[in-house]
A and B are shown apart, each in its own frame.
Chain A
Amino acid sequence: MDKLQVIEIERFAIHDGPGIRSVIFLQGCPLHCPWCANPESQAFHQQVFYTQNRCVGCLACVNRCEQKAITYTDKIVIEQSMCNGCGKCVDACVNDALALVHKEMTITEILDIIKKDDAYYQSSGGGITISGGEALVHPHIVDLVKALKEHKYHVALETTGQVSWSILEQVDAYVDLYLWDMKHYDAHKLVSIGANKEIIVSNLKHISKDKVIARIPVIEDYNLQDIEELFSFISSMGISRVDLLPFHRMGESKYRKLNREYEYRDYASMNKDVLMKFVEIGEKFQLLVKIGG
């Protein structure tokens, strides 16, 4: 059976859609937002997390890697593009300094995990959220969404909308709620992170707005000063609900583990209170604004 690249299935997720949910995080994203809190989800291929403070420098991983993707001169360096995801280095490390980012899972395996919490979803009006990366670019997303609906789950999909309509069209009938990432209204600003406004707007037009919550990751030097205009844009698209997600730094350690530079290292996590004023501003645009998911 075809497999999906699953980074994590988070049980008891309570910030990504209504009620108690499980969130399936899939690998791969066409965007490259520099503030991304889940940088490991951006690449489409397997990667290895390296936690330096657990490493004792035994070089077992270097010796074990048949792809020669791991080298050591003064420190361990993993060339992620050379990794074939065999996991032998992870197995060789007795200190758990290495870990594969995703796991290959069949839909049946995914269902086996999420069904354990069926009673909690039912009781709380919850369900399943598919997230990423960008879930919609995943080759088996249609099968997954279909399977979830066949099992009568409330399905939420977190998306940037940066995907061909032909895919969205196929999943739309099975999706109850979109958590639609709206990072900006300005085409140029969107291009800077790899997004295309035209595609996003065109896709949105075809979707029933009743099942869309716009989510705005609020980033100080990217969109904080443009929130009001963004509200206006969102409102003009016929959307009435908005979640503002304050910038946080919880993804920082993941950049280190991937040996990648974190461009937002000098920015402090944003206090929720900074965003409270937008609740009122949202009302001007007939938007119901919530802070956090």
Chain B
Amino acid sequence: MKRVQVDGVQNVEVSKKIPCIKPLSEQLEIMELYTKVHKESLSLGKEQRELNCLKVLYPTLFQPLNDRDLIAGRLDFLPIGFGCVTSVGGVGHYCVFNKLRDFQKQLPEIDQPRVQVLYDYWLDHDVKSLYCQEMLDEIHAGRFVDCKHPFLSTARLSGMMLKYDLLLDEGIEGLKAKILAKESNAFLSASYQALTLLQEVIEFLKQDSYEKYLVASDDRKDDVYRIYQSLEHIQYKKPETFHQALQLFWVYALIAGCINYGRLDDVLGPFVCRDMENGILTETEAIRILKSLWLMIENRRTTVNGRIIVGGKGRKHPKEADVFTRLALQVTKECRYVEPQFTLRFASETPEDIMDMAYDCIGMGATYPTLYNDDVNVPAVMYGMRVDYETACQYVPFGCGEFVIQGQSVGTPNTVINLLKIMNMSLHEGVDPYDGIDKSANVDVPNVSTFTTFEEYYQSYLELLDYYLDLSIEHQYRSYEIMNQEVSFLYASILMDDCIARGKALLDGGVRYLGGTNETYGNINVSDALFAIKTLVFDEKKYTLPEMVKAMDANFVGYEKLHRDIMKCHKYGNDEEDVDTLANDFYEYVAKGVRDRGIAKGMQYYLIVISNNQMNTEWGRMTTASLDGRKDFMFMNPANNPVGGANVSGPTALLNSLAKFDAKYHGGSVQNIKFTPSMFNEKREVIKHLFRTYFDKGGCHLMVTVVDHGVLQDAKAHPEKYPNLIVRVSGFSAVFVHLESDVQDELISRVLYG
């Protein structure tokens, strides 16, 4: 049987990972032991197997306390282990084959065959490979991230944001008591033991911090002692102070493999306020501790994750949460890291000073906070995810912009689709002009010469697209089944409604809302291309469709006039009714198509997310020229934004175009805008009115980069001068000089206002 390629890169990794501190020999021994335990547990239930394996990893992979952290908890990852997502480690029982190969090369030759044994074992047991082996035909559906294909799918559990308030309210013993109160089963029993393992981890960290305390310098002693005390407290008792709460939250997030953290303002705000009232915490100290947290999050280097969300509707402790929000804004402004992805939800009732602090932070060039408009998003989530108001208020964006309901829903984007590649296939009877392979899957795709109206062609494209949308729901759903077959995700399950109450693991019927997302790419290239076809072929009859296709196949070389005519057609992003209407029609077709398929499959929701994580550039590299005028292998449009440089009518026009898409049909849609510092900072009042009006018009979201003219170009030419220049790629921020050359070009191409 043909085996899917497993060696490729698995995910977007812009930030350089910090390597494991353990010697290679020890790393190998851990991976061998993990493999052995997994093998020996094959006959056991998945819950017990998971637990046995976790015991190999924890506390072993926790690093000793370093010289500056103000809470304990740094975790190493090996090419083999257990996790939720590819950003840290891998999915379920995982093997990251390309990293294992790299690891192998570093070993003395004599030890290399030991790695081969592991490699061979995991080919049949790595959860993601099991999924890929079953689902990917590598014609229609490809491996994530293999951009030859029009559609990619994977198994992962991204975007888990847990119910940390429950953890802090109950403490570990409280959670255990809840489990004991239920009639036991394999899942609950393993969950209970997993909590005991967590206590062992805390014990390990406590011992370590005690040892560090004994040798700490005078100015470090108090910090280490506080860590020791907090660990001792939270091991068996509910946290009472901010430091204890933060310590417990952090260790849990690490051990659960979660890389997005959710609404920390509401969770930690009350602790901060209580400590301040009790005189045991100053604002300065709170900021100092948070800076340490920010650094530890940065050091996990997950590139597109690390979300901390503050503000917005539906918080239990809005007053205290706002105190935390102000501190966190201060920290974000001073730290200027690419992670955490600091996110502000706001609504009409958000205090003005918080908005001002947010704008100040953005104006400094931090790219944070990213702004989410609750007045639009809450009702949109109610419709999109089919939940009530209170539930919708708990929406949180993760990763590149997808929404989940914190503590209540799974919404991992396990399917991604290239709408533009499929359009190019629809213009070539189903054959992808990139590699000449027929990817039509028996959908009848007529020759372009047969279309007599625009509607006929558009319909034909949509029929081919339908095939891929059908495929996507099957792939999304199956990813849950296969993951569930192998693992329980015990730690995530414990803090997600209603796993404990139902006595079921997350994907075994435990999670309250089983959702999912499909990342769509190239949506604006498609709508601009559709509009060019409609205008030039069918309205003005300037060219025939075969002529247009011939020109794109030649990458427009020799067809300069035709190319110019395409470029002169209206483009999305300029507030032009005709092209924006078509863009919206296409958006709604895809968004509703995906949503309807999720509902029909029995999921709570399955929504598109118009996100971006440089996939627009990577996928563009393997997508031929398109009828929006884009040349061969150029980047595609970023997220829901116009093609770089196409929006020439100023920011109000751009924002008006963006606001036309009704937010209720998507599960997250990223909107970028770029200003010069002088415009953003010197005309702040005007900018505030600009944003406010956009949000009032239905704008759901904004990500703002503030950078001066020529800076990005100069940074590309002289990277050594700009080690800390942060830019918003779309779904994530990055240090500009770490990005690949064509990703940098894509960012430069975007219009800069001011």
Contact = CB atoms under 8 A, between A and B. Distances in A.
B560 A119 contact: no
Contact of B686 (A11, A19, A96, A117): A19
Given A20-B689, A120-B690, A123-B689, A94 B652 contact: no
A20 B696 contact: no
Nearest to B655: A120
A52 interface: no
Contacts of B753: 12
Nearest to B754: A14
Contact of A11 (B563, B564, B650, B696): B650
A95 interface: yes
B288 interface: no
B651 interface: yes
Contact of B692 (A11, A96, A123, A126): A123
Given A94-B564, A119-B696, A11 B652 contact: yes
A219 B690 CA distance: 33
Interface in B650-702: 650-653, 656, 679, 683, 685-686, 689-690, 692-693, 696-697
B447 interface: no
B561 interface: yes
Contact of A120 (B560, B564, B689): B689
A116 B575 contact: yes
Given A95-B560, A96-B564, A119-B696, A19 B653 contact: no
B697 A20 contact: no
A117 B696 contact: no
A94 B561 contact: yes
Given A20-B686, A94-B564, A95-B560, A116 B653 contact: yes
Nearest to A112: B577
A242 to B, nearest CB: 19
A124 interface: yes
Contacts of A95: 560, 564
Contacts of B560: 94-95
B649 interface: yes
A123 B696 contact: yes
Contact of A20 (B652, B656, B679): B652
Contact of A12 (B685, B690, B696): B690
B690 A124 contact: yes
A20 B689 CA distance: 8
Contacts of A117: 652, 656
A122 B650 CA distance: 18
A79 interface: no
A124 to B, nearest CB: 4
A116 B652 contact: yes
A196 B575 CA distance: 42
A89 to B, nearest CB: 14
A11 B649 contact: yes
A120 B575 CA distance: 14
A271 to B, nearest CB: 14
Nearest to B688: A124
A10 interface: yes
A249 to B, nearest CB: 15
B652 A14 contact: no
Interface in A48-96: 94-96
Interface residues of A, number: 16
Contacts of A126: 689
Contact of B656 (A14, A94, A116, A124): A116
A117 B686 CA distance: 14
Most A CB within 10 A of own CB, among B564, B656, B686: B686
B631 to A, nearest CB: 15
A193 B535 CA distance: 47
B650 A14 contact: no
A124 B689 contact: yes
A95 B683 CA distance: 36
B650 A10 contact: yes
Nearest to A92: B561
A257 B686 CA distance: 33
A215 to B, nearest CB: 18
A150 B683 CA distance: 29
A11 B653 CA distance: 8
A14 B753 CA distance: 12
A281 B652 CA distance: 37
A117 B651 CA distance: 10
Interface in B292-326: none
A12 B650 contact: yes
B564 A124 contact: no
Interface string B444-478: 00000000000000000000000000000000000
Interface string B545-568: 000000000000000110110000
Nearest to A93: B564
Most A CB within 10 A of own CB, among B560, B650, B653, B685: B650
A12 B652 contact: yes
A10 B652 CA distance: 11
Nearest to A12: B650
Contacts of A14: 679, 683, 686
A6 to B, nearest CB: 14
Interface string A10-31: 1110100001100000000000
Interface string A108-140: 000000001101100110100000000000000
Contacts of B651: 12
Given A10-B650, A12-B652, A116-B656, A124 B686 contact: yes
A96 B753 CA distance: 23
A14 B683 CA distance: 8
Nearest to B691: A123
B32 to A, nearest CB: 62
B685 to A, nearest CB: 8
A248 to B, nearest CB: 14
A98 B706 CA distance: 33
A95 B653 CA distance: 26
A124 B683 CA distance: 12
A117 B693 CA distance: 10
Contacts of A20: 652, 686, 689-690
A119 B686 contact: no
Contacts of A11: 649-650, 652-653
A280 to B, nearest CB: 20
Contacts of A94: 560-561, 563-564
B754 to A, nearest CB: 9
Contact of B697 (A10, A12, A119): A119
Nearest to B654: A12
Interface in B591-646: none
B674 to A, nearest CB: 14
A17 B656 CA distance: 22
Nearest to A15: B683
B693 A119 contact: yes
B480 to A, nearest CB: 43
Contacts of A12: 650-653, 690, 753
A179 B545 CA distance: 52
A235 B379 CA distance: 56
A95 B679 CA distance: 32
Contacts of B697: 119
Contacts of A119: 693, 696-697
A11 B576 CA distance: 13
B153 to A, nearest CB: 40
B191 to A, nearest CB: 52
Most B CB within 10 A of own CB, among A11, A19, A126: A11
20 contacts: A10-B650, A11-B652, A12-B652, A12-B653, A12-B690, A14-B683, A19-B689, A20-B652, A20-B686, A20-B689, A94-B560, A94-B561, A94-B564, A117-B652, A119-B696, A120-B652, A120-B689, A120-B690, A123-B689, A123-B696
In the A-B complex, the 4 residue pairs with the closest CB atoms: A124-B689, A12-B650, A11-B650, A94-B560
Given A19-B686, A117-B656, 19 more contacts: A10-B650, A11-B652, A11-B653, A12-B652, A14-B683, A14-B686, A20-B652, A94-B561, A95-B564, A116-B575, A116-B656, A117-B652, A119-B693, A120-B652, A120-B689, A120-B690, A123-B689, A123-B696, A124-B690
